[in-house]
Amino acid sequence: RILLESHPDQYKAMAYRGEFLYYQGLNAEAERTFARAIELSKQSGERVPELLAAMLYASQGQRDRIHPVVFSTPPEGIVDGDGAYWLGGIHCILGDRDKAFDFIEREGIPAIAQDDPRRGDLDLLRIRALVGLGRTEEAARTAAVLADRARARG
């Protein structure tokens, strides 16, 4: 916030502020912040504001508002862990299991083998993404539901 007070047009700092607001559950303020960051970044070619905003849009089920770069970027086109983490999280929230695993494995989280039964468990991936996003209470609730299901199955 201090950086933005002295540099109000710093789109990357603004995008990260939007991310913090999203993590705090302040979605309306996050959305306004992302919109401004995206507008300011248009001439730069930078995609960080669109990627961070995509987390919010995905969590609201607004796939149509997500920048096309999210869907067109292949995992092997990612050269840093942050990008892989963000894209994996977005695809996880959207329910795109295979793409989410591909990006998250690229990010450096230990790979889950193709024949491992957990690979098909989107809930497991969702828990990992929620924990990584700092949303531990939601992750704990999801884990509790999974544990209840497992106990019910015997």
Q: So what's the pLDDT on residue 62?
A: 93
Please report where in the chains the tokens 């996880």 appear, as a residue. 92
Q: So what's the pLDDT on residue 9?
A: 79
pTM value > 0.85: no
Q: So what's the pLDDT on residue 78?
A: 80
Q: What is the largest CA-CA distance in the chain?
A: 59
HSE (CB half, 13 Å, CA atoms) of 54? 24
Q: So what's the pLDDT on residue 127?
A: 64
Q: So what's the pLDDT on residue 121?
A: 57
Instruction: Retrieve residue 39's tokens.
Output: 């507008």
**How does pLDDT run along the chain (154 residues), one tens digit per residue?**
676 677 777 888 899 899 889 888 899 999 999 999 999 998 888 888 999 999 899 988 899 999 998 999 898 888 777 788 788 888 888 888 778 878 877 655 444 444 555 444 555 666 666 666 666 676 666 666 666 666 676 5
- Which residues lie closer than 8 Å to 151 by C-beta, 6 or more apart? none
Please report where in the chains the tokens 């939601």 appear, as a residue. 138
Instruction: Retrieve residue 76's tokens.
Output: 């092997």
- Which residues lie closer than 8 Å to 97 by C-beta, 6 or more apart? 91, 120, 122, 125
Q: So what's the pLDDT on residue 109?
A: 47
Q: So what's the pLDDT on residue 103?
A: 80
How far, in Å, are 36, 61, 106, 139 from residue 135 at the CA level?
25, 18, 22, 6
Q: So what's the pLDDT on residue 68?
A: 93
